Structure 1
Amino acid sequence: MKIIVFLSISLLLLMIGCNSEESKTTGPNNDLVNLSTYEVIQTEIWDQSCISCHMIGASYANQSGLILTADVSYGQLMNRVPSNVTAAEDGLSLVGDEGYASLPKSFLWEKINANDMDHFYQDHPEYGAIMPLGDDFLTNGELEFIRQWIEAGAPEAGQVADVELLTNEARYTPTPFEALTVPKSGYQFHIEPFTVGPGMDREIFIYEKLDNDAPLYVNRVEIAMQSGSHHFLIYQFNNGLSSFLYPPEGVMEKPFTLSPTLILPI
């Protein structure tokens, strides 16, 4: 199908960072051997890597409906239907208590298993992003510890995984970002680097003027984005919009400051 693009294209990019390296410790300590497996998950994984986003009042907690602070996290996870509509329709729960049968039906596991990232994004694009957001994924030891806990029925009490697993601090490393080759015909747009603070999200809207005298017929769009980014949208301006109302060219704007009557999705 051919798409006609008039006058301009604007870009929306969302990037989110949940981890804070400053607050994260490394490896297990001797006190962990006296804790239940879930207490270890809470103190060494949720508290270190997740609660900056998944705490009461945080924007991402409001969006996902998931709180991972110690007072409520277990009840928030167990046998709950995900707020993600597609995951719910697929029959997933956040964490089940059926042992081995629960792992492939766990939305939590789908979301944190960075080593299976290709499957996640190719087979389940509606599931959102791998967690924690950014490139500081859970370590292989943390993932194995959680996997064994789920396969043991995800108990709140008792020890079902060895804390020595946490000494494996290797983690999935995404392929470094590389800009696309400039096309022989067509247009290429580039968004300059920008920062996203720990526990924050940021949406970017950029207006780029094409200066085309006639409609352009687009039959292919190729996109490359930094790991941790998603929601790439392309719009054209309403043909009846006066040019003096256009936002500044090439300047990063907040999308919600623009009237929805000014733009039309392509």
Structure 2
Amino acid sequence: KVGAPQPFVGVAPEVTFGAYRIFSCAGSGASDIIMQGVWSVSNAGLGALSTSVASFDNIAGSYQYFSYGEADHPYSFSQAWGKPLDLPASATLIPVFEKDGSLSDGCLQESYAGQNVTGKVVLVLGDTIRCKSGGRGAAAKAAGAAGMLVQSVPLGLNSLGGNPEFQMASIEAAAGAELLEAFKKNPVNTFKWPADKKSFRIEGGGSPSAFSSWGLDGDLRIKPDIAGPGGNILSTYPLDMGDYAILSGTSMSSPYVAGAHALLFNAHKKVLRG
């Protein structure tokens, strides 16, 4: 079951919706299976089909947030944790640095050598070259950290898989820089974690998502031809994991475009059918 009642509706609330699984549990699908899905949609008489379209990030929205120093910052909690962060009010911030003084990605437990992070909220860089969020969270948890804030690379709020037993969230790149400055001024600053949400304009909003295909194709044609909002989208989520969550992916943009097409098709059937 997904989706608790909300005071808003989706793109096409009266549409007859069909879902056809074409990906395996590993997250990929063979061409023949994908084509069979396309034929199934056609045979069912559905008027719009969307498998995957390009994505751009949401411009603004209502987000969970925290206060640190004198500023409020939005965050996106990990999918594995599945709910707003609930960290101790006494927890202080500690940035994790590499030997050269740059912010660490926190991928290895060795990243925390020589630093006492017990009961603290660690700040790390969200670079995915060496590891993903699950491994990053496991390393911080093993080091004794209470939670983790992951500075986005390059911009915006990223969707983190995370660790179900560890509180972690994505924050904007600018927020990470501001936290570092506030920490330098007062290392014993504490956090506030309000239960309510607040509206924020998200950095990089309206730009192509980092995970999306964009740019020239092999024939030097400008692509994509069509895109939809797919980055930092408030979407339905399992009821036992919070009902709704901020998610990112072409799985967000594709149904949005399909719903918009269904509305257009319904309003202009004669014209579109020729």
Q: Same fold (TM over 0.5)?
A: no
| Greater per-residue strand proportion | 2
User: RCO higher in 1 or 2 (8 Å CA, sep ≥ 6)?
Assistant: 1
Q: TM-score, normalised by structure 2?
A: 0.32
| Greater per-residue helix proportion | 1
Q: TM-score, normalised by structure 1?
A: 0.32
